[in-house]
Amino acid sequence: MNHEGSLSKAFEMIDAAAASGAPMIKFQSYKASRLAQKKSPAYWDTREESCRSQYELFRRYDRLEIEDYEAMAARCKQKGILFCTTAFDSDFLEALAPYMPVLKVASADITNLPLLRQVGRQRRPVVLSTGASTVSEIDRAVKTLEDAGAPQVVIMHCILEYPTQPQNANLNSIPYLASVFPDHSLGWSDHLPFAFGGQSLITAWQLGADILEKHFTLDKSKPGNDHYHAMDPQDVALFYRQCSYAEQLLGDHRKQVFSWERESEKQARRSLVATRDLKAGDVLDESMLIPKRPGNGISPVHYDQVLGRTLQRDIPSDHALSWDDFLGPRQTETTYQETERPVLASEPAAACLTT
């Protein structure tokens, strides 16, 4: 609702979202008369949005018609950003589904079997929010969508609290849902105020969210609606910079010695060094050896093999020993078999913005 019923403002939001790097922008399509009874109480923070009637709030911003959303879809195509809208009734759904690569079902409609079946019959991937729902309700909704024809359902963890308090986000639900629904992708529909550089979004991604959804506004300081827990264009751009940085931090799934570590490895590791002047024929004991940097001599990993060896030449104090300093055959360097261990990592997330 952050376009506040203005098509020109919706265009402005599309332009700003695209310029900020978002891959998709999602709107909401409804008419108050088909969505809520006239005596429908508010469930949001009325200190931020003072309207105490769902019907009155929705009626205030339901001025856009099907042709307006079609114009918004065209604007998105022009700007190179994907278009989506949560269609809250069959009229909007049937008219606008052809313009959308995915369909969205709001948390409040997870028990709306008629709408779920209509969504499934569009035979498009579906993003399903799950705020205030049980696992059995999620399972029933997923099966309803799939039985009706949906080829893929992404399950979005969501908290139906506007705004969501950080202590209520319960992001550990994401890996839990992944274990319950192993054949489905997971996501996070975020209603927290944007803070700490989008920490909740980054955390959700690291916990396995493939899709991130966040409310969007051009001005977070505006009163009412969803402005107060939305991202603005600067937030979006910052978030994507952080995603890029986080991807660099993650790297690949292996533990190995990288080329950029080689010089540091050589200088920071240690060699076995003579603690005093030694003579040819001396048999080395512990008092004669100390591990010191750099690692250009015999590694202390061979400490046990060096003890008891006989020197074939004089060695000055602080000299890094080499195998050529000893009588007898040269020691073969010890090698160790690399051990494969389980990989614990998440893949980068896609993201969309909802207004």
How is the chain split into domains, by residue range?
7-252+348-354, 266-324
Q: Specify whether the CB–CB gap between 16 and 233 falls below 8 A.
A: yes
- Three-class secondary structure of residue 308 per DSSP: coil
CA angle centred on 233, ends 61 and 131, rounded to 5°:
55
Any alpha helices (H) in the chain, and if so which ranges? 7-20, 32-35, 54-60, 66-79, 90-96, 113-120, 135-148, 173-180, 199-206, 233-250, 262-268, 303-306
Tokens 């093999």 -> residue: 305
Which CATH code for domain 266-324? 3.90.1210.10
Q: What is the pLDDT of residue 25?
A: 98
Between 261 and 194, residue with greater pLDDT = 261
Q: Is the pLDDT of residue 352 over 70?
A: no
User: How far, in whole angstroms, is CA 40 from its chain's centroid?
Assistant: 35
Q: Specify whether the CB–CB gap between 96 and 126 falls below 8 A.
A: no
Average pLDDT on 270-298 reads 97
Average pLDDT on 206-225 reads 91
Q: What is the pTM of this model?
A: 0.81
Q: Write out pLDDT tens, residues 136-147.
A: 999 999 999 999
- The fold adopted by the segment(s) 7-252+348-354 is TIM Barrel (3.20.20)
- Tokens representing residue 185 in the block: 């992708």
Same topology for domains 7-252+348-354 and 266-324, yes or no?
no
Average pLDDT on 273-278 reads 98
Q: Write out pLDDT tens, residues 6-58.
A: 999 999 999 999 999 999 999 999 998 988 988 888 776 777 778 888 888 77
Q: Is the pLDDT of residue 346 over 60?
A: no
Query: Residue 216 — pLDDT band, cuts 50, 70, 90?
Result: very high
Output the DSSP codes for 203-229.
HHHHTT-SEEEEEB-S-TTS-STTGGG
| Dist. CA 104–CA 100, nearest whole Å | 10
Q: What is the pLDDT of residue 54?
A: 85
Of the CA atoms within 13 Å of residue 31, those in its CB half-sphere come to 9
Q: What is the pLDDT of residue 225?
A: 67
